[in-house]
Amino acid sequence: MPQSPPSLPAGARLSLNRCNLPAVILGGLTYQAHPVALEIDGIRAFHKDLFELLAPIDDARERAERFVDYIAAHFCLDDLEAAGLSPERVKKYRRNANYLRMVRGWSFDADGREGAVLKHWVETRFGLLARYHAGALDDSDGDAYHHYLAQGAKGLYATNALEAQLDLLYTYCQYELGRQHPNRTHLTLYRGINRIGEHDLFDDLEGVSTSPFNGHPRRVLLNNLNSFTSDRERACEFGDYILETRIPLPKVFFYNSLLPGMLKGEDEWVVIGGVYEVTISCL
């Protein structure tokens, strides 16, 4: 009998989230093959003025500029006193902790404070639990897990509706992907990794050869947030193994060219995790 597609393990998900599909569905392998749009509760409707503003604009760069202006005005990013933050009582880091700082911090160090904030955001919005943050998070009493919780709490403390900013960033990213790739459901992306044995594989490694792409798919449970690239040669710079997979567009959180100057990494795509079918090759 053929194997049924693996579901998202119970230990990798929450029972509740804030989007239109439960984690057990959006995190499973069936979703990778047959994705549907993911929407964070209420965000598109609450910010309908933004999307009405963007609708008649044909140039992607101009849309990006309008988005930056809108989010700055809506969250008072240039006038934090109007947002209720007191300059003399809040440290400079807290006052500058906006969506751009989070994504740039992720690009610099996915296991840093900003990375913890983003992984926590994925947990609350999509119900996918973080698997790794400067160490495996499979032990709720372990040092790595407590470090992750502490970094996430510190990163969110006394910020200006930071998670709501991230909600809008994701929603805008999905809007842009729909405008720029109206007939696509997936992107083929690559990720360079080391120590393949530390990843949650549903298959053993028999048959993984040193030759490029042996063609045998593997099923892997990825962290709840991951960096990929559209350039395979670029992925080779980050590990001895290359994962190639088809990423559903609704699982793209943001990418380097979404906004002007957003990320320095070339062709970086930040992807929401779950169970994926991948092809593994060795360098």
Secondary structure string (H, E, C) spanning 80-139: CCCCCCCCCCCCHHHHCCCHHHHHHHHHHCCCCHHHHHHHHHHHHHHCECCCECCCECCC
Please report whether residue 35 resides in a domain: no
* One domain, residues 160 and 254: no
Identity of residue 273: G
* One domain, residues 48 and 139: yes
* One domain, residues 144 and 199: no
Please report whether residue 160 resides in a domain: yes
Please report whether residue 32 resides in a domain: no
* One domain, residues 174 and 229: no
* One domain, residues 47 and 176: yes
| Tens-level pLDDT at each residue, the chain (283 residues) | 455 556 899 999 999 999 999 999 999 999 999 999 999 999 999 999 999 999 999 999 999 999 999 999 999 998 766 655 555 555 555 567 899 999 999 999 999 999 999 999 999 999 999 999 999 999 999 999 999 999 999 999 888 899 999 999 999 999 999 999 999 999 999 999 887 766 788 765 454 444 444 557 889 999 999 999 999 988 888 888 899 999 999 999 999 999 987 766 568 999 999 999 999 888 6
Task: Report CA 72 to chain centroid distance, whole Å.
Answer: 22
The number of distinct structural domains making up the chain is 2
Of 93, 51, 58, 98, give the one whose Cα is nearest residue 262.
98
* One domain, residues 190 and 155: no
Which of these three, 180, 206, 224, is where a domain ends?
Answer: 180
**Paired residues of 40 in beta bridges:** 19
Q: Which pair of tokens denotes residue 56?
A: 């008649």
* One domain, residues 190 and 276: yes
Please report whether residue 37 resides in a domain: no
Residues 6+ apart with CB under 8 A from 60: 176, 179, 180
Of 29, 275, 230, 227, give the one whose Cα is nearest residue 118.
227
Which element (helix H / strand E) includes 77? none
Q: How far is CA 117 from CA 122, 250, 278, in A?
A: 9, 20, 27
* One domain, residues 148 and 214: no
The owner of tokens 């897990």 is 145
User: What is the structure's pLDDT at 88?
Assistant: 57
d(CA 244, CA 248): 13
User: What is the structure's pLDDT at 148?
Assistant: 97
Please report whether residue 93 resides in a domain: yes
Q: What is the pTM of this model?
A: 0.91
Residues 6+ apart with CB under 8 A from 166: 99, 102, 118, 121
Please report whether residue 117 resides in a domain: yes
Q: Which pair of tokens denotes residue 15?
A: 């029972």
Please report whether residue 18 resides in a domain: no
Please report whether residue 38 resides in a domain: no
User: What is the structure's pLDDT at 47?
Assistant: 98
Which of these three, 180, 208, 237, is where a domain ends?
Answer: 180
Q: How far is CA 224 from CA 88, 182, 197, in A?
A: 36, 26, 18
Residues 6+ apart with CB under 8 A from 44: 51, 171
* One domain, residues 169 and 191: no
Q: Are 156 and 142 in contact (CB under 8 A)?
A: no
* One domain, residues 59 and 95: yes
Give residue 217's domain range: 186-282
CA dihedral 195→268→225→153, nearest 10 degrees, is 110
* One domain, residues 48 and 111: yes
Which of these three, 180, 211, 245, is where a domain ends?
Answer: 180
Q: How many residues does the chain have?
A: 283
